Amino acid sequence: MQSVRYEAPTSLDQAARTLLGSENAKILAGGTDLLVQMRLGLKQPGLLVDIKNIPEIMQLTLGDDALRVGAAVTGALVGEHAEARRLFPGFVEALGLIGSSQIQGRCSAGGNLCNASPAADSVPALIANRALCNIIGPAGARSVAVESFNTGPGKNCLAAGELLVSIDLPLPAHRSSDAYLRFIPRTEMDIAVAGAAVALSLDEAGICTAARVAIGAVAPTALLVTAAADALIGSALDEASLHAAAAAASAACSPITDKRGTADYRRKVVGVLVRRAAAIAKSRIEAQA
């Protein structure tokens, strides 16, 4: 029988050294994906590197330019951060959709990203918010735009010995907000059949000056859909431009047919979600004082 070693480094340096020295290491954050995958026999690591004792990885800080979310900061902690909720309601609601209350006490945006499921809820919301991934590794530190972080189902851009430290969400401009919607057949405890995040900025006249649209569960990775954003920018977010954005999202995706839904169904629904999420983001801006 295979045995599993467990290490809990207390610094980034120590973590990097531990990772480099092991053939079959897996990083353990909340474990809400990894432990399930191990139990199902999908992953059989020889070493678990628990990163939750590393200060940088556990910090949630609001800076002058960005909200910095440590890679293993739990969904529950982000959800209790009033400024995070005010600035990025769509990201917070996306993160809050993962699992149950119990899972929320363990799961993290960093884990959700690194697990690289095409259906990850928080990833489209991170993309819509122009998030940057802070990575450390043998060659030093680097930052990657979140939409480039994942490269396929279960695959990300981390090289051997590299580690995601934190995610920066740049602070939004005046009169901006975001929203995330996913479709599941139930109301909770489920995985997205399709997901859509929209971040918007409006001028005082209500004209959209900036937009980012990202979709999930409809392609090998979450996608940034610039054509959908272009359909919104310059418009008053009227029905016609919302429908144009929806159509652009449907056109951009490349979904599969599986037990959770057909490709055709996902293509249609992702457009509906984009349109509805844009309308919610708009109403959030309008509700700002």
Partner 1 sequence: MNMNVKTEFKYVGTRPIRPDGPDKVTGRARYGADLNVQGMIYGHIVRSPHAHAKIKSIDFSAACKLPGVLATMSADDLPEPGDRKIPGGEVEMALKTFSPVVMARKKVLYHGQAVAAVAATSPELAAEAARLVKVEYEVLPHIMDMHAAARADAPLLHDDVYTQGVDPAPTTPSNIPTQIEISTGDISKGFAEADLVVERTYFVPMCHQGYIEPHACVVQTDENGKVDIWCSTQGAFMVRTLTAAVTGIDIGRFKVTASEIGGGFGGKTTVYLEPVAVVLSLKSGRPVKMVMSRDDVFRATGPAAAAETRVKIGVTRDGRITAIETDILMDCGAYTSHPIMAGVLFNSACYRCENVRSFGREVLTNKPRVYAYRAPGIPQPVVAVECVVNEIAERLNMDPIDFRLLNAVDEGDVMAIGIPFQAIGLKQVLQEAKAHPHYTAELKAGQGRGVAVAFWINAGMQSSATINVSEDGSVNILTGNPDIGGSRASMALMAAEVLGIPVETIRPSVVDTDSVGFCDVTGGSRTTLATGGAVIKAAETLVKELRKRAAAIWSLDIEEVDWTGGMAVAKSGTGLENMNREDAATRGDKTLTLADLAARAGATGGPLCAVASHNAHNAAPSFALNICDAQVDRETGKVDILRYTCVQDAGKAIHPAYVEGQMQGGAVQGIGWALNEEYIFNEQGRLDNPGFLDYRIPVASDLPMIDTVIVEVPNPLHPYGVRGVGEVPIAPPMPAVVTAVNRAAGTRLCHLPLSPPKLLAAIEAAEAGTA
Residues of this chain that interact with partner 1 (CB under 8 A) are 1, 183, 185-191, 193, 259-262, 265, 268-269, 272
Spatial separation of the C-alpha atoms in residues 88 and 157, rounded to whole Å: 25
* Core vs surface per residue 264-288: b (16+ CB within 10 A) or e: eebbbbbbbbbbbbbbbbbebbeee
- Minimum separation from the CB atom of position 262 to partner 1 (A): 5
Q: How many CB atoms lie within 10 A of CB 161?
A: 18
CB of 198 to partner 1, least distance (A): 16
Tokens of 114: 């690194």
CB 123 within 8 A of CB 167: no
Output the smallest distance, CB 194 to partner 1, in A.
Answer: 9
Which lies closer to partner 1 via its Cβ, residue 175 or residue 268?
268
Which residue's CB is nearer to partner 1, number 64 or number 188?
Answer: 188
Q: Min. distance of Cβ 215 from partner 1 in angstroms?
A: 15
- Of the pair 19, 194, the CB lying nearest partner 1 is at 194
Q: Report the residue number, 131 or 277, with the smaller CB distance to partner 1.
A: 277
Residue 225 near residue 248, CB atoms below 8 Å: yes
> At closest approach, how far in Å is the CB of 284 from partner 1?
21
Contacts of 248 (CB under 8 A, 6+ apart): 213, 225, 227, 228, 230, 231
CA atoms of 180 and 278, how far apart (whole Å): 9
Least separation in angstroms between residue 190's CB and partner 1 is 7
> Closer to partner 1 at the Cβ: 59 or 79?
79
Measured from the CB atom, the residue of 188 and 238 that comes closer to partner 1 is 188
DSSP classification of residue 231:
H
